[in-house]
Structure 1
Amino acid sequence: MKSYEVNFDGLVGPTHNYGGLSYGNVASQSNSQQSSNPKEAALQGLAKMKALMDMGFQQGVLAPQERPDIAALRRLGFAGSDAEVIQQAAKEAMPLLVASCSASSMWVANAATVSPSADTADGRVHFTAANLNCKYHRSIEHPTTSRVLAAMFADSKHFAHHSALPAVAQFGDEGAANHTRFCRAYGEAGVEFFVFGRSAFDTRYPAPQRYPARQTLEASRAVARLHGLKEEGVVYAQQNPSVIDQGVFHNDVIAVGNGEVLFYHEDAFLETDKMLAELTSKLAKVGGKFQAVCVPRSAVTVDDAVRSYLFNSQLLSRADGSMLLIVPEECRSNERVWQYLQSLTGSGGVIREVKVFDLKQSMQNGGGPACLRLRVALNETELAAVNPGVIMTAPLYESLTQWVERHYRDRMTENDLADPQLLLECRAALDELTQILKLGAVYPFQIN
């Protein structure tokens, strides 16, 4: 039976704005308060989805969230009609209104952690929605994320869904941005690689001093238990605290893996040799041959990696066994990074080609190609059980492009977020979107 890695990309929401909400994310903070372009952002994301589909990769789409989140504002004491809630928040607590309008759910690498059926005890694909507890604007996402994922992967014979972990610091969970799976083939048993920034209870693990470590070891272990993973099929590794303090807020900013290959920066991890040995040994036991591609700090600094998002890339397997690296335009703009990529692809190694995409709107808010996609390994039967409305096709691309053109603004500032009309526009857009994607009622305004 054939198996696939399907990339489900997040569709950028109508309220895409540069609120500077993500402390520890250099791009998010440095572009705070600039004017954004939601229409351009959504179209850039759709263009990447269409391009990968045209290259023969399986591609899906994951819907954005309802924003502004009126229910979240009501829980914080704002009252009256929806318009009055928005106006009161804008007058009394603008940062809370900005947080309630964030389109950060576009970065669906943080939506959930996914384990394929070949790894799990019950032979189903398991999803655990991430609690994203480190940042308020993201912590309000997981209820809708869970409903959307359940509407996409609805067949309980093939798919199992778990609620987000407890919303406390000890179980901070950032989803697939800190999770990678290595395997010989997507339908075969593999090794799941969980990267954490700190331990909540074990003081032997060092912690960063400047920026928060968002993923805990305890959260990673809990997800592995929920998914029924065997100990011999899991490796845990700690992110280097010093790179977190340099702006590497998730592991996918400093490393990316796929198939049998890990592409990583020399300074990405602690106890790197021990980690590589464990990955090599465990993958060999399921028939795989682990390959590590290390980028030396002498060629690319951590600062280069953060500013270019070299590692926040998509590493895609092609039929001939080689790999394609999808990177943002910022990699070509960085002389050292681009020089390294030219030498990498010309070396005869496993990564043979680099393709560049313009994702400026997402990049300026702190997310690159890897942030925009959630990877789900599926066999033919499981893929057939996925809601077909969310699988990218040429007609769906055209429908979504026209939908964006109808509903999205081409300019968004903080002042625009205070306009009650924006909520009505967002709800009208999302109501139509759920029909296009055949999701049913997944948003609070559709349910309540």
Structure 2
Amino acid sequence: MNLRRSLLALVTLIGALGLVLPTRTRAWTLLGGELDLSQRDFRVYNNFSDAEANDNTDADLNFPGASGAVLAIWKACVEWSSELHGDGGGDPHQPFDIGSGGANFDPSFQGQADIIGNTNANIISQIDSYGGGTLAYTELPIADGWRIRFFQDPTVWHDGPGEIIGGSEHADIQGIATHEFGHALGLGHSTVAGATMATLSSNHYIPMRSIEPDDQAGIQYLYGVKATDKPHIETYTLSGDTLTISGANFDTVGNEVWFTPAAPGGDGTPLAVSGLASSGGGTSLSVTIPNAAGPGDLLVKRAGLDHAALSNPFPFDPAREPCASPSAYGAAKTTSFGSTPILSARGYGSAVTDDLVLDVYNGTMNGWGVLFSGPAPMSLPLFGGTVHVAPPFVRETLFQFNFVGIAELPVPVDAALLGTTRYYQVWFEDPGDTFGVGLTNGLEVQFCP
């Protein structure tokens, strides 16, 4: 790899000549500013010209309506959030872990911009020029806004989320955007190898997608460790054009809900509905969805201007309610060879994504098994283990484990299942067992329109 291309983000300090970094007593460093609640917005002007920058069109429930470079950058920014974004899914390189800051900092995705914008517009875009050894840069100062630019040449930009194949000129948008957004929120470079804010990385900068303990320490120093009374969004329900948000720590009166606008443009000011009273001891808010709102994120702001006044961003689609991740329950039966068989899931029982795959681990090498389901859970001792699925049973799939005892079982999202919850378990052959039977844990799957 060309060493010059490993040097990230030469930060241009627009209007701040002579800025002096503090004496470094820690691995992370500061740039001398932070983003108040009026600067939590970010937008994307998607002028990325490489085909690889916009070829990911797979729907992602944690990032509704987004694809390509916009999706990659959205993931990058919310990685710095106070807690998991939705269920944290969306990146195979950090499974169910997007949203790792643990600080009183949360960004607000305000959709797509229709212009590049000035240096204070909080917009991320490509610059159509040659960067040499610089991949991207962040224009500061911080307090009144920022702008991030990705050099078009000589880099080939990829939107992920999988592996990147190619030479050192191929780079990951999400990883670089995570690094650059760290500058925008006030962090300089780190001397810790493997930190997102370090200047060196590997594997086309994919590891920079996931912030590490040193990055977390930096953002927590700037914005404070996540307060216990910070507003929190847990989920939402829809009834016509009425949105009910469930969570915690909402004010009795004077709450504000931020939406993502459906149409490109605007100036980054959050699409907001103000003056909302909560119910249930600060655990519920109801609001009429603005006509201009589209898929994006929800945030709740309570009264005040302190960093802890803004909630986590929560994925929102005005056309549908959240679809829960599949969840395991119950204990598996230990096999005759001492392993614990595991039934887990990738994807969701969603008609939008239709990407549900059940994975079975630690089964009998080259042995046969049956995936079965039922309408409810139960706990019935049987065959020296426990049956976790109530009848009537449906035999879903007869399958054979591979030579290391693993099986991948796709589950199509049938229209007849939408709006229901099914419970799954695997029975398999275990010739060395007293009963000749192996049983996994149970798995609950919600099927959503």
Q: One fold, TM greater than 0.5?
A: no
Q: Write 1 or 2 for the structure with the bigger share of helix.
A: 1
Q: Larger RCO: Structure 1 or Structure 2 (Cα < 8 Å, ≥ 6 residues apart)?
A: 1
Q: TM-score w.r.t. structure 2 length?
A: 0.22
The structure that has the greater radius of gyration is: 2
Structure number with higher strand proportion: 2
Q: Structure 1 length as normaliser, TM-score?
A: 0.22
